[in-house]
A and B are shown apart, each in its own frame.
Chain A
Amino acid sequence: MSKQEKNTRTIQEINEKIRKGDAQVLTAEEMKKLVESSGVEVAFKEVDVVTTGTFGAMCSSGAVINLGHSDPPIKIQKAWFNDVQVCHPGAAVDLYIGATNSSEKQPFDYGGGHVIQELVAGNEVEFRATAYGTDCYPRTQVKTTLTKDDLNQFFLLNFRNCYQRYNCAINTSDETIYTYMNKLLPRMRNATFSGAGELNPLMNDPDYETIGMGTRIFLGGGQGYVIGEGTQHSPKSQFGTLMVKGDAKKMSPEFLQGASFTRYGVSMYVGLGIPIPILNLGLAKKTAIRDSEIFTDVIDYSIMRRDRPVLRKVSYAELKSGSIAVNDKKVRVSSLSSIKMAKKVARTLKSWINEGQFFLTSPIERLPNDSVVKPMRQTQEIPFVSNVMHPAVTCTENEEIRAIAERIVTKSVNHIVVIDNQGKLRGIVTSWDITRAMAEGKKALSDIESRNVITAKPDEPLESASKRMAQHNISALPVINAERKVLGIVTSEDVSKLLGR
Chain B
Amino acid sequence: MVRILLRLNEDLVSKPIVSEVILEQKMLFTILSAHINAKGGEIVLEVPDEATDAVVQAFRKKGAHVSVPKLIEVDNDKCFSCGSCVSLCPVEAISIDTDSNVNFDREKCVGSTCSICVDACPVKAIKSIRYANSESTNSQEK
Contact = CB atoms under 8 A, between A and B. Distances in A.
Contact of B87 (A55, A109, A332): A332
B27 interface: no
Contacts of A267: 122
A322 B96 CA distance: 8
B82 A337 contact: yes
A336 interface: yes
Contacts, number: 77
Nearest to B95: A322
Contact of A338 (B81, B85, B92, B95): B81
Interface in A352-406: none
B88 to A, nearest CB: 5
A334 B83 contact: yes
B80 A338 contact: yes
Contacts of B82: 269, 335-338
Given A190-B88, A338-B83, A257 B123 contact: yes
B96 A260 contact: no
B124 interface: yes
B120 interface: yes
Q: Classify chain B's interface size.
A: 20 to 34
B100 A182 contact: no
B87 A341 contact: no
B81 A185 contact: no
A332 B86 contact: yes
Contacts of A331: 87
B55 to A, nearest CB: 31
A105 interface: no
A207 B94 CA distance: 38
Contacts of A269: 80, 82, 122
Contacts of B119: 183, 262
B84 interface: yes
Contacts of B123: 257-260
B50 interface: no
Nearest to B92: A332
A185 B86 CA distance: 12
Interface string B101-128: 1100000000000001001101110000
Nearest to B120: A183
B99 interface: yes
A304 to B, nearest CB: 20
A341 B122 CA distance: 15
Q: Which of B80, B82, B120 has the most CB of A within 10 A?
A: B82
A42 to B, nearest CB: 25
Contact of B88 (A185, A337, A338, A343): A185
A261 interface: yes
A257 to B, nearest CB: 6
Contacts of B100: 338-340, 343
Interface of B: 80-88, 92, 95-96, 99-102, 116, 119-120, 122-124
